[in-house]
Amino acid sequence: MSAPDTNIDKQEHQHKPALLGIRGAMIFGVLMVMLLLFFVVDNGREDMATEASVIEQDAGAASVDATAEPVGTVTTDSN
């Protein structure tokens, strides 16, 4: 059943505090999601930069180790 008197302007005036609260909650929710996305993207870039430097360090260590003599090799010069 519908209400017999549906004066939208009067109902909007009576429900103004509730409507403002709902609007405020929606704005707060959107701001929190945007803030979360900002932090996720910002931290993601930091992790990738750290991983790239670790990979570069590992590559540099591998090139230095490639010129060294392997451990446990037998030389035949002493006989």
Residue 53 tokens, joined: 């430097």
Q: Considering just the CA atoms, what is the radius of gyration of the chain in Å?
A: 34
- Give start and end residues of each alpha helix (H) in the chain: 8-14, 16-67
CA–CA gap between residue 18 and residue 24 (Å, rounded): 10
Rounded mean pLDDT, 37-48: 79
Rounded mean pLDDT, 34-59: 76
pTM for the structure as a whole: 0.48
Spell out the residues 6+ positions from residue 19 whose beta carbon is closer than 8 angstroms to its own: 12
CA–CA gap between residue 59 and residue 42 (Å, rounded): 26
Most confident of 26-30, 43-47, 62-66: 26-30
